Amino acid sequence: MDRLRPRQRQVFTGFTKAEIEKLEKSLNESGEQALNREYCQNFARSFSRSSGRAGKPIVKWTEVHSWFQSRLQDSAKASENKSEPPEACPSNKEHEISGMLKEAKIPDLSDLEFEAKSSKDGAWYDVDLFLAHRFLSTGEAEVRVRFVGFGAEEDEWVNIKKAVRERSIPLEHSECHKVKVGDLVLCFQERRDQAIYYDAHVLEVQRRMHDIRGCRCLFLVRYNHDNSEERVRLKRLCSRPT
């Protein structure tokens, strides 16, 4: 089965004028309902598939959500400024506490990207959606995933603990020094009948001078699924998040 998943993703640079007009119209009609996850996902899918986004990066639902949230917050602040009378100047201590609260950031798990291990070939694929979850009689939890670039017919139930993890990170040419002997990496294995990503361990590193093409170092890896060994370039490696 030839299942090649994309690794190099284009960076989202903003909405088009037509997309912003649709978002503004929807926000005026729906209000805070626009923050609903499914509502944002529908917008993201619609934008990503439109002809106006040809050649541009896909839109994630979190980007739609952030746009709606920012506009609602701006509207709320504008209303407060109009309705609230001026207050007495707060003390220095109050200023200090207010500044600390503004700087505090709560991590948002919705920004994380995940990958899952397919039971069909033992390779790792990017996760597009988590569709459902269940608990087996053994007490283990499973989740049904949809892989990026594949339809519903390729959905799978996978073990959450053993087959779902934070997405591996493609390495840039300047990051070859980060790869060490013994590291677990995700390596793009090319064969005559398939080209997919498998876990592998780095056995040896041959450092070489970089040129106009970028990193020319060689990495000897051993694939975990079949113990085969191969020398590969950096462009075929993805690092595991620490």
134, part of any domain: yes
135, part of any domain: yes
CATH number of residue 184's parent domain: 2.30.30.140
Residues 6 or more apart whose CB falls under 8 angstroms from that of 174 comprise 215
Percent of the chain with pLDDT over 70: 78
pLDDT 10s digits, 91-112: 554 454 445 434 444 444 456 7
Q: Are residues 145 and 174 in the same domain?
A: no
Q: Are residues 187 and 211 in the same domain?
A: yes
Comparing 12-16, 134-138, 189-193, the range with the smallest average pLDDT is 12-16
Number of domains in the chain: 3
Judge contact between 10 and 57, C-beta under 8 A: yes
Q: Which of 62, 166, 153, 146 is nearest to 108 (CA)?
A: 62
Which of 145, 166, 187 is a domain's end point? 166
Domain residues for the domain of 200 are 169-239
Q: Which of 12, 18, 26 is nearest to 61 (CA)?
A: 12
Residues 6 or more apart whose CB falls under 8 angstroms from that of 207 comprise 176, 217
Judge contact between 47 and 41, C-beta under 8 A: no
> Which run of H or of E encompasses 195?
strand 195-206
6, part of any domain: no
pLDDT exceeds 60 at position 5: no
Which of 149, 166, 183 is a domain's end point? 166
What is the C-alpha end-to-end distance of the chain, expressed in Å?
Answer: 31
